[in-house]
Every structure is written in structure tokens, then in C-alpha cells.
Amino acid sequence: MRASELIEDDGPSKLVQVLRTVIGSADAKGTPAFLHFQDPKEDEIRAGALNVNINKLMQNVGAPQFDYGTFKAAYDTDPRVKTMVADFNEKGIEPATAKTIDKKDSEADPDPESDKVGQMAKRATDLGDKL
């Protein structure tokens, strides 16, 4: 499939329509979004984000399916798509929503008890009512 088949010259492409819909939905919910090229595995789900299979959405509107290569071709060809995408990779697309996916969400939260030195330093410098 050629990139020109993914983009319509006489109005917004179905990809642009789907991106607008997802961005609007995520912004209304106050959450970031991630569009997966396949059904995400449990370890691929972005915490705190709206996780959607873009190909199911594209199928619902009667549009072609995407993988990394075909999406990159559409991204490189249509400037509207570039303005609507914050990032993309082999796993999927992060649309440009009001809230972005926090990269730290995918990492384990540090244990507050593990910062013993910081806690001791805070107690040592806390003079409170002693002055």
C-alpha cells in the first residue's frame, strides 16, 4: 500500500479523523493516549494512559491498517499527521494530547524508605523550635 492511498487530497484523511477523535477523547478525560499497532500485551500497556488499538479504529471507519512502516510513510507525507503526533515507534503512536505519557510511569516507583541518607540529612538540618 502506498502512502498516497492513505491520504485523501479532498479533505481530512481517515487517519487524521481518527487521530482527532482520540486526541479529543483523551483531552476530555484529562489523560494521555497511546495507539498500539496491535492488541497490547499486558507489559506494553502504558500506565495512566488511554490505550487503544489504532487498527481496530481504522477498521471501524473502513480505512487501511497500519504498522510502523505504513504509519511512517503517512507521517512523512502528511503535515497534518506530524502536528498531531508527539512520538511513535515500532509499538505504536503517542498522539499530541494536552497531557503526555510520563516516562517514569513505566518504571517502578522508588521506595521512600530506601532514601535513609536523605532522611537523616533532613532530620539533622531540621532545627524546628530549638532556636
110 domain-assigned: no
**Confidence class for position 102, pLDDT limits 50, 70, 90:** confident
| pTM reported for the whole predicted model | 0.70
65 domain-assigned: yes
Q: How far is Cα 122 from Cα 96, in angstroms, rounded to an integer?
A: 40
Residue of 117, 106, 4, 119 lying closest to 46 (CA atoms): 106
What's the pLDDT at 75? 95
114 domain-assigned: no
pLDDT digits (tens, 9 = 90+) for 15-31: 999 999 999 999 999 99
Query: Residue 38 sits in which domain range?
Result: 3-104
85 domain-assigned: yes
Which residues, at least 6 apart from 73, have a Cβ–Cβ distance to it below 8 Å?
2, 3, 6
13 domain-assigned: yes
76 domain-assigned: yes
114/120: higher pLDDT = 120
Look at the chain and report how many structural domains it folds into.
1
Would you call 25 exposed, middle or buried from its count of C-beta atoms within 10 A (0-12, 13-18, 19+)?
Answer: middle
Secondary structure letter of residue 31 according to DSSP: -
Q: Is the pLDDT of residue 125 over 60?
A: no
Strand ranges across the sheet with 50-53:
50-53, 33-36, 92-95, 85-88
Percent of the chain with pLDDT over 90: 64
C-alpha cell belonging to residue 128: 524546628
pLDDT digits (tens, 9 = 90+) for 41-80: 999 999 999 999 999 999 999 999 999 999 999 999 999 9
114/94: higher pLDDT = 94
